[in-house]
Amino acid sequence: MAHVNGRGRLARPAEDRGRRTGHRVRHSTVVVAVLLVLAAFVSHPVAAGAQPAQPWLNRWLNPDRRADLLLREMTLEEKVELMTGDQGEAPAAYFNAGIPRLGIPELRMADAGAGIAPRGWTLPGTGNRATAMPAGIALGATFDPTLAHDLATAVTEEALATRHAVLLGPNADIVRLPWWGRAGETHSEDPLLTSQLVTSYVRAVQAQPVIDDLKHYNVYNQETNRGDAQNSIIDERTLQEIYTRPWADVVERADPGSVMCSFNKVNGTFVCENPLLLDQILREQLRFKGFVITDFGAIHSTAPSIRAGTDMETGTKVLYDGALLAAVQSGQVPIELVDRSVHRILRTMFAFRVFDTTYSGGPIPVAQHGSVAQRVEEQAITLLKNDAAQLPLTSATRSIAVIGGDANITAALGGASYVLPVHSVSPLQGIQDRAAADGIDVRWAPGADPVNAASMLPGPPAVPSSVLAPPGGGTGLRAEYFANPDLAGSRC
């Protein structure tokens, strides 16, 4: 029988207390037994007491341990192979073939400046077309990290659909020259805004089993002689506070798995072999843990590049591959540097679940991702002047004149950022579609020639061909060529 003790609580009989103690002992025994079973499973995931043939495939181990185990089994040739891209007929922008003997999967890397570029893949229903996202500079005009996250999520889903394990982008470059050829795929001239957008972007990418490759490190902002002698002379404060600020923030807050070294020199040394940028700043100061790859043709040496911290040659297959193998065999490059780079690559692949993910591909949600692209583009529109509140147009508008040689053309970034769009609407078509609902008449006049190669010439805009009438009819100019300065005889 229970009774009240001196503290006002019910006291249980001794035999009841004994039974409760026994329950606690049995309960503790069960917990210990479960923990022992789990420990055995973690140590031996294939079968209790049996070590798997390839222990680095045990996903219960941490990435560093898995990389250590695999590195021990690799030959020198296999290590160099992992550090060298397989170009030629590669089914991706950059590509590293797998090493089946060791269970190392292939690495497909997607150009993704404004969506997934068409590089040897095809999808059910859409072929080699993907969602054409707004340019990076448009994302910058939104000032909205949330939109950056949404856009990056959609792009990453399409990277998975196209079987890519690495996404080449976004850009963390700082726009300093308005005529820079890659200004369109970069976000802004402001390091803080770039930091916020790119950090959000990288987080969204790596929330899925995709490694983000942040580019182009560092001080890259012009195209003239970019792959040869272009040399950015810069002081320490500008380097740290302007150019390196986005990289510092992204590494600290988003932990990108990879970084791409840029084409140019900085203070006389190519970035891909620059120990100040790669070793002292990126790895020691910023504590970057991933691996460094080269841009297409950005590597210019073997020993200096691997010493500075470039881990993988991509785009070209010239200065690692056989050259690196020979450099190690001759003693010019210590094997420890190769092991360092290989460990960085493997650890990152393990950390971002590349070994543990089947990239089977599949269709893309066209309407869903199209709405993301439209939302970003709408928020990017910036109205600088609106005298007399002319915009937005009201229902009282009866007609609209559209003037421009490219009004019926959908603009797109070129190069690595080019996307073959699933769906596109030209400015003229968009205006016509919207106006038709209100019965507004839309008329278009080219006014000038569309953008073409002549548009790249310096000087004032060319005279529109529509106002030129050469002999014989038609529009434009007629050129005649002679083989002499007297313009005599037959034309060439």
Give catalytic status of residue 295 as yes or no.
yes
Residues 259, 354: Cα–Cα separation, whole Å:
17
| β pairing state of 3-4 and 211-217 | unpaired
**Do residues 406 and 451 make contact, with C-beta atoms less than 8 angstroms apart?**
yes
Instruction: Select from 164, 276, 257, 300 the least CA-distant residue to 218.
Output: 276
List beta partners, residue 315.
Answer: none
Give the CA distances from residue 419 to residues 71, 106, 142, 416, in Å, rounded to whole numbers and listed in that order: 37, 23, 21, 9
**Identity (one letter) of the amino acid at 459?**
G
CA-wise closest residue to 186 among 177, 372, 129 = 177
Give the C-alpha distances (Å, rounded to integers) separating 212 from 34, 104, 192, 371: 38, 19, 20, 24
Give the whole-angstrom CA distance, residue 288 versus residue 278.
Answer: 10
* The two three-digit tokens of residue 272, written as one number: 């891909």
Query: Do the beta carbons of residue 283 and residue 239 sit within 8 Å?
Result: no
Active-site hit among 173, 295, 321, 449: 295
8 Å CB contact between 98 and 75: no
Which residues, 6+ apart, have CB-to-CB distance to 121 below 8 Å?
91, 92, 128, 162, 163, 361
Would you give the end-to-end CA distance of the chain in angstroms?
Answer: 123
Distance (Å, whole) CA 122 – CA 126: 7
Q: Which residues are marked as active site?
A: 295
